[in-house]
Amino acid sequence: MCAMRSVYTWTGGVLARVGAVSEPHLRAWEYEVASDEAWMASSEEQADTVRLWRTRRPDLAPPELWVGDCDG
């Protein structure tokens, strides 16, 4: 299990890293991967595989997040 995952925004057809979220927060807010489809995001610092996650509890957190996979 990852300790932290990168969070991205999707703007103008490009994924941009905007922060991070801990794995326990993702689970507490009941996020799950919404699709097997993945996108690549890269910057000078890192390359990341990004997937769309959705929560079952939109009253607690944003309904959807673009979240990077664990690095290993």
For residue range 29-72, list pLDDT tens digits in order. 999 999 889 999 987 777 899 999 999 999 999 999 999 997 54
Whether 24 has a pLDDT exceeding 80, the answer reads yes
pTM for this predicted structure: 0.85
Q: What DSSP character marks residue 65?
A: E
Confidence (pLDDT) at 71:
59
**Residue ranges with strand state E in 1-72:** 4-11, 14-22, 31-33, 39-42, 47-55, 64-68
CA angle 56, 64, 71 (to 5 degrees): 105
Taking only the tens place, the pLDDT of each residue in 3-22 is: 899 999 998 888 999 999 99
Domain-by-domain residue ranges, the chain? 4-68
